[in-house]
Amino acid sequence: MSVDKFNLLSFTGKMKTLHLSWIAFFITFMVWFNMAPLKGAIVDGVGLTLSEWKTLLIINVALTIPARVIIGALTDKFGPRIVYSALMGICSIPCFMFALADSFTQLVIARFALGCIGAGFVVGIRMVSEWFPPKELGTAEGVYGGWGNFGSAAAAFTLPTLAIFFGGEDGWRYAVGITGLMSLLFSFVYYKNTTDTPKGSTYFRPKNLGGMEVTSVGDFYLLLFMKTPMYLALALLNWKLSPQGVSLLGENVVLIIYLGLVALYVYDAYATYKVNKDIFVTPVPEAHRYSFKQVAVLNVLYFATFGSELAVVSMLPAFFAETFELNMATAGLLAGMYAFMNLMSRPGGGMISDRFGRRKTLLILTAGLAIGYFCLSLIDSSWPIWLAVIAVMACSFFVQSGEGAVFAVVPLIKRRLTGQIAGMTGAYGNVGAVVYLTVYSLVDTATFFTVIGCTAVIGFIALFFMKEPSGAMTEVREDGSVELIHVT
């Protein structure tokens, strides 16, 4: 393990890996969110209806839920260097396809495939965990997540200007294409300049690729239970695309997808059983066990934190514009303060977690998250705008700090499964976004914020079932020897 100091101005050793990883994440989020800032140009250029545009927004997140789980498993098996590089290189192709599309159908196909690049986040979580000691891990993961996540805001700030610079009806195509080129070029940079571990360290891999390992029969059933919301979220997306939603898919196609999701869940459960069937016969030695309950709690917390962030970022500009009768440019600028907080809040949450303990930090931040959203539910036109902005920024601090604190814990559960755990937890963030945006489409904004606050309360209660990571985890090398990895 690298022992040099944590110096953000350094570009050597572990800090070089951290910087290259957050830049990779930054680029993947620029690509993933390169569509929304160019709405007007894309709608006019291709001739889309409002319904078709909303369909593209739904399609953009559809594949990210399963992709995060799959990419997490591939990362554990093949290493983050290869997986991150391949993901950025391969996903540049649908990005170029989107830039060249001249029909709604072509846009849908390209955007559906581009949802995979939203899974890049989980790759870097494993990479950073390999390079930093436990006492710095929360801060490092926070910097990775916060600075990389700012790629979505950077897309909003820069792509419209790029489109204007290139001018004409096709300006948006050049702007989108540039993000794809960035992804393609950086895939080579990342591959050439990173390694999976510091020199002399062991990269621990899962025994099987087919499903997540658990270490008790009770955890096996809890894992199957926790998989269910991910499939239900995909079913909800399918419903949104059905004749009852935006009517993109016909009744027969919708039915086939529903049946396919059921079949996929059954296969997933069977694959998980095949990986874990030995635990039904021979108990796992205590030294090699980990508690899946820890993962389940983190899933719930990321549902409430990142899920609410994705949903709120989507609706906040319209909320400011309608509540305070602002033009969209001003409303967008004010709403952008929510995402801007990522630069400081997410690293801050990881740093607080390093200093004061994982569980205690999450309890405080989750309580603040709940209170913050309950406060937002009270905002109306009688509030001064400056006070509403302060309330939004305060709430966003707890949201994004909570995200940083969640991923300060993820790598401390079971090293060789870090990618899969990060993938599942990350997927729950997208599940939360799907659920919250669905709620938003059915209720007023006050109720919407209240619902998020209530789920944060559920997360707060769940934290009482989580244990503070401590001691050491036991990992087995490929040659059969054992290594103790300290987590405190």
Walk me through the domains of the chain, giving residue ranges and CATH numbers.
1-203 (1.20.1250.20), 217-288 (no CATH)
Q: Quick check: 483 and 473 in contact, CB under 8 A? A: no
Token pair of 342 as six digits: 């990522």
Report pLDDT for 480: 58
Q: Quick check: 278 and 216 in contact, CB under 8 A? A: no
**What stretches of 241-291 show up as alpha helix (H) in DSSP?**
251-276
Report pLDDT for 1: 46
Q: For residue 216, how far is the Cα from the chain centroid?
A: 28
Burial class of 258 by CB neighbour count within 10 A (0 to 12, 13 to 18, 19+) = middle
Residue with tokens 């995909």: 234
Rg, C-alpha atoms of the chain? 22
Report pLDDT for 2: 46
**What stretches of 150-250 show up as alpha helix (H) in DSSP?**
151-166, 171-193, 217-240
Residue 484: helix, strand or coil by DSSP? strand
Q: Quick check: 321 and 331 in contact, CB under 8 A? A: yes
Query: How far is it, in rounded angstroms, from Cα 72 to Cα 422?
Result: 7
- Determine the angle formed by the axes of helices 385-409 and 358-376, rounding to 10 degrees: 150
Here the contacts of 207-211 (C-beta below 8 Å, separation 24 or greater) are: 207/275, 208/274, 208/275, 209/73, 209/74, 209/77, 210/271, 210/272, 210/274, 210/275, 211/268, 211/271, 211/272, 211/273, 211/274, 211/275, 211/276
Report pLDDT for 296: 96
Q: What is the pLDDT along the chain (488 residues), one digit of tens a residue?
A: 445 677 888 888 999 999 999 999 999 999 998 888 888 889 888 998 887 887 888 788 888 889 999 999 999 999 999 999 999 999 999 999 999 999 998 999 999 899 999 999 999 999 999 999 888 899 999 999 999 988 888 888 788 889 888 887 889 999 999 999 999 999 999 999 999 999 888 888 887 777 888 999 999 999 999 999 999 999 988 888 888 877 777 889 899 999 999 999 999 999 999 999 999 999 988 888 899 999 999 999 999 999 998 888 878 887 888 888 877 677 777 777 777 788 889 899 999 999 998 999 999 999 999 999 999 999 999 999 999 999 999 999 999 999 999 999 999 898 888 999 999 999 999 999 889 988 888 888 899 999 999 999 999 999 999 998 876 666 666 655 666 676 76
- What is the DSSP code string of 392-447? HHHHHHHHHHHHHHHHHHGGGT-GGGHHHHHHHHHHHHHHHHHHHHHHHHHS-HHH
Query: How far is it, in rounded angstroms, from Cα 182 to Cα 159?
Result: 13
Query: How far is it, in rounded angstroms, from Cα 127 to Cα 349?
Result: 19
Query: How far is it, in rounded angstroms, from Cα 434 to Cα 230?
Result: 10
DSSP state, residue 289: -
HSE at residue 19, side-chain half, CA atoms within 13 A, is 13
Q: Quick check: 387 and 297 in contact, CB under 8 A? A: no
Count of H-run helices and E-run strands, the chain: 19, 2
- Determine the angle formed by the axes of helices 342-356 and 328-340, rounding to 10 degrees: 20
Residues constituting the chain: 488
Here the contacts of 167-174 (C-beta below 8 Å, separation 24 or greater) are: 169/41, 169/44, 169/45, 170/45, 171/41, 172/38, 172/41, 172/42, 172/45, 173/45, 173/99, 173/100, 174/99
**Following CA atoms 235, 238, 239, 240 in sequence, which dihedral angle do they give, to the nearest 10 degrees?**
130
* pTM for this predicted structure: 0.89
